[in-house]
Structure 1
Amino acid sequence: MTELAQEKKTRILVLNPNSSKAMTEGIKAVIDTIGLPHSTKIHTYTGPSDAPASINDDKDLDSSTDAVSKDIQSSHPELLSYDGIVVACFSVHPLVETLRSIPELRAVTLGIFEGSILAALSLLESHEKWGIVTTGKFWEKHLTDGAIDFLGGYPSTTNSKFAGVESTGLNASDFHHGVDPAVVKQKLKEATQRLLAKPGVKCIVMGCAGMAGLEEIIRLAACEVKGKKFAYSELLVMDGILAGIMQTELAIKYQRLLRPI
């Protein structure tokens, strides 16, 4: 006879820091594919109406941080009771540190950018590299500097595991409405192939929450330049939402072991 030894419920909030409900729906589609324990419950949040509809630059990052932090503390304080919060914007988002600074918040708080880096590094062999395909030109420097800083380097330095960032020239919102899907596909294909032209790339991180569900376009682009075996058996295509949630759940478990009170 078997008996249940332990089942502690875990509640994770996936926080979309812009006001696009369409993007949150795309995030939900990714969540549905994750095989988490039944005891782990995931909820979503969409930023208030005064948050930007799409985050495309530093101004949008600051605006969304201000709008969301005020909304949570004034209108949704119950969100501070979650075990984990995943900030679903692929950026060095200041909201992550802003939430961590709230005294009442004890949740593990992680951005999908940081979660993706941790996941990529854990899966690659010593000679293999990871890189990012993202939306607009602004993100090339922002994400490059952010990755180097997260890995312990300084701006303008390099990292032996990081192959860099290639952009499509689109905005996050373009992936779900407003732009011909054929244009989106072509630009994503070109960015992917530029990244794969660099030696050793075995992991491509989709550097935008709005790219959820577009893994197949990346694999088809890889197939054209590296062959079917590489594209479907060797290349890792990482969704930031999935990586962020999985890393957050793992961190929650560690926190319970290392800080039980």
Structure 2
Amino acid sequence: MAANLVRRTTKILVLNPNSSTRMTHGLEQGLRHMELSQSTEVHTYTAPGESPESINDGEDVQTSCRVVSKDLEATGLLRQYDAVLVACFSVHPLVGVLAEKEGEFDRLSVMGIFEASIITCLSLLRPNKKWGIVTTGKFWESHLTQGVSQFLGTQSQDLSTKFAGVETTGLNAGDFHGGVDPKMVKEKLGEATARLLSKGDVECVVMGCAGMAGLEEIIRSVALEQYGSRYARELLVIDGVRAGVGLLEQMVRNKRAFQKS
């Protein structure tokens, strides 16, 4: 008599498209504390050495996409997974590249941490409240603002009712995990957070860099100092990696439930 499969494991790959293993280890620390189904496995991937160690501008984004796409094509790695999360806070072309391969990889679910953060904020915001992003260098101000507009299908001026904007620290992704003195990280992230919160009615703060994982308390400390304990306690600080994994876990379930077998 044949055995029947009654329950499937969900396997999610968190893909770091830069070549920093230190940053990948930082992502792993946050992922270990997530509450997920016992049948969900989360694995990590670090891009080959040809990819930039820190993705700081548009050229780095494109280079990382080329390097990772080539590596995944050569290894066939994605055939082992149900979902993949691109852990770069940008409008990363790899999200689209992999989504186009969905049929090839048996209904692979694909998301980026940028998109996951927007979805999460909009699902959590109360009426008349806003969300915004604190991130790294100056390049990302226009890149991410345009990306939010594109993702939501709106004109830039229409974003002001919910989107409080992008504030930058002047650091790069690698600085958040040992690249500079931790005191400088705290200072620069604190300043960017203060500028964002000063815009008023900000309920969700998105950490706009995968390297910021684990730095939520710096953001909350600014909220506490300037606006009091209740505001700091209720402020939602969004880690795009954890948000993305949670959304992908549900996305895989929904595809299994609602797509034709």
- Same fold, TM exceeding 0.5? yes
| Cα distance between partner residues in 2 of 1:156 and 1:198 | 16
| Alpha-carbon contact 1:81-1:107 (below 8 Å) kept | no
Residue 95 of structure 1 aligns with an amino acid whose one-letter code is L
Give TM-score scaled by structure 1 length.
Answer: 0.94
Look up the match of 2:79: 80
SS of aligned partner of 1:158: helix
| Alpha-carbon contact 1:148-1:159 (below 8 Å) kept | no
1:250 CA displacement: 1.3
Matched, 1:176 2:177: yes
Matched, 1:29 2:46: no
Residue 89 of structure 1 aligns with an amino acid whose one-letter code is C
| Cα distance between partner residues in 2 of 1:170 and 1:80 | 36
SS of aligned partner of 2:170: coil
Residue 183 of structure 1 aligns with an amino acid whose one-letter code is M
Q: Which runs of 5+ in 2 are unaligned?
A: none
Look up the match of 1:138: 139
1:109 CA displacement: 0.3
SS of aligned partner of 2:42: strand
Look up the match of 2:108: 107
Matches within 5 A, 1:101-250: 101-102=100-101, 103-105=103-105, 106-155=107-156, 157-232=158-233, 234-250=234-250
SS of aligned partner of 1:55: coil
**CA 1:225–1:120 in 2, change beyond 3 Å: closer, same or farther?**
same
1:154 CA displacement: 2.9
Give TM-score scaled by structure 2 length.
Answer: 0.94
CA RMSD in angstroms, aligned pairs only: 1.4
Residue 191 of structure 1 aligns with an amino acid whose one-letter code is A
Residue 122 of structure 2 aligns with an amino acid whose one-letter code is L
Matched, 1:43 2:40: no
SS of aligned partner of 2:165: strand
1:177 CA displacement: 2.0
SS of aligned partner of 2:121: helix
SS of aligned partner of 1:44: strand
SS of aligned partner of 2:161: coil
| Cα distance between partner residues in 1 of 2:245 and 2:66 | 23
1:156 CA displacement: 5.1
| Cα distance between partner residues in 1 of 2:201 and 2:207 | 17
| Cα distance between partner residues in 2 of 1:179 and 1:156 | 36
| Cα distance between partner residues in 2 of 1:50 and 1:58 | 16
| Alpha-carbon contact 1:222-1:231 (below 8 Å) kept | yes
| Cα distance between partner residues in 2 of 1:83 and 1:55 | 26
| Cα distance between partner residues in 1 of 2:227 and 2:116 | 27
| Alpha-carbon contact 1:90-1:209 (below 8 Å) kept | yes
| Alpha-carbon contact 1:135-1:208 (below 8 Å) kept | yes
| Cα distance between partner residues in 1 of 2:135 and 2:244 | 16
Residue 212 of structure 1 aligns with an amino acid whose one-letter code is A
Look up the match of 2:89: 90
